[in-house]
């Protein structure tokens, strides 16, 4: 009956992970703290309903997975060590965010009353969320700084330990983000029928992307 918990404990000891409870608690607190990701999910939920918010949440989490794997295999360390690599990723990320923000500010969406283009819209929402995180070097450095705190320095399986912790963090974050999407979509049925409201939502999201682009461009290691 106790084989499951014992197996998990054995795996944790083998990987050199310590204070897992503190890691999970810290990750949950970080995930529930309002930020640009939450604002993006809420905005897309208001526009496209539950599916739009879920697409945004899954995209954001997939973008985080890029940095989890990067931290595990040492790419984040490369970004920290190489000024050129950091600068290239920073400029590419900033350019993408600024372009997306200006594009959203200039768009004039119609009321979302039909689902004809829903599939294309959801794909776009997903990739915007994924690329926003994947092209942000600050997220890469966050995982590089956060994950090693919970892995023993003499662990023989650091890569697996980083992957395990990263997946736990992303999984918990996805649950929270999907909850935010569900709550926002239920509260926004009337807003989605208003063309003026949709225009203002696009302006808010566009401004958010521009803000993130400027912040990424000004990042220093």
Burial class, 1, CB count within 10 angstroms (exposed 0-12 / middle 13-18 / buried 19+): exposed
pLDDT tens, residue by residue, 133-175: 888 777 877 787 777 778 776 777 778 888 888 899 999 999 9
Side-chain-side CA neighbours of 64 within 13 Å: the count stands at 24
Question: With helix as H, strand as E and coil as C, how does 44-95 read?
Answer: HHHHHHHHHHHHHHHHHHHHHHHHHHHHHHCHHHHHHHCHHHHHHHHHHHHH
Name 11's Cβ contacts closer than 8 Å, sequence gap at least 6: 164
What is the model's pTM?
0.71
- Average pLDDT across the chain, whole number: 76
Bridge partners, residue 17, by sequence: 151
Model confidence over 94-143: pLDDT tens digits?
Answer: 787 787 778 767 766 544 444 434 444 888 899 988 988 888 777 877 78
Q: What does the CA dihedral 85, 91, 93, 94 come to, rounded to 10 degrees?
A: 150
CB 213 within 8 A of CB 98: yes
Percent of the chain that is helix, strand, coil (3-state, to 5): 80, 0, 15
Please give the Cα distance from 182 to 213 (Å, whole number): 27
Q: Which residues partner with 151 through β-bridges?
A: 17
Report the pLDDT value the prediction gives residue 83, as an integer from 0 to 100. 74
DSSP 8-state symbol, 111: P
**Which is higher by pLDDT, 81 or 41?**
41
Query: pLDDT tens across 6-21, in order?
Result: 656 776 777 778 788 8
Q: Residue 1's pLDDT is what?
A: 47
| DSSP assignments along 183-196, one per residue | HHHHT-TTGGG-HH
């Amino acid at each position: 009956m106790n084989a499951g918990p014992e197996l998990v404990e054995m795996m944790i000891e083998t990987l050199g992970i310590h204070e897992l409870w503190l890691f999970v608690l810290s990750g949950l607190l970080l995930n529930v703290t309002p930020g640009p990701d939450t604002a993006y999910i809420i905005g897309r939920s208001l526009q496209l309903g539950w599916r739009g918010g879920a697409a945004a949440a899954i995209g954001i989490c997939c973008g985080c997975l890029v940095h989890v794997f990067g931290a595990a295999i040492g790419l984040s360390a490369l970004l920290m060590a190489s000024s050129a690599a950091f600068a290239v990723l920073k400029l590419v990320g900033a350019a993408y965010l600024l372009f997306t923000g200006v594009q959203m500010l200039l768009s004039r969406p119609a009321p979302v009353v039909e689902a004809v283009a829903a599939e294309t819209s959801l794909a776009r929402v997903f990739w915007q969320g994924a690329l926003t995180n994947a092209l942000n070097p600050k997220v890469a450095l966050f995982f590089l700084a956060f994950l090693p705190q919970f892995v023993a320095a003499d662990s023989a399986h650091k890569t697996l330990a980083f992957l395990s912790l990263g997946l736990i963090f992303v999984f918990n974050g996805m649950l929270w983000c999907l909850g935010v999407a569900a709550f926002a979509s239920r509260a926004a049925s009337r807003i989605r029928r208003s063309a003026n409201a949709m225009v203002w939502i696009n302006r808010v999201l566009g401004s958010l992307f521009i803000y993130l682009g400027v912040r990424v461009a000004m990042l220093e290691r």
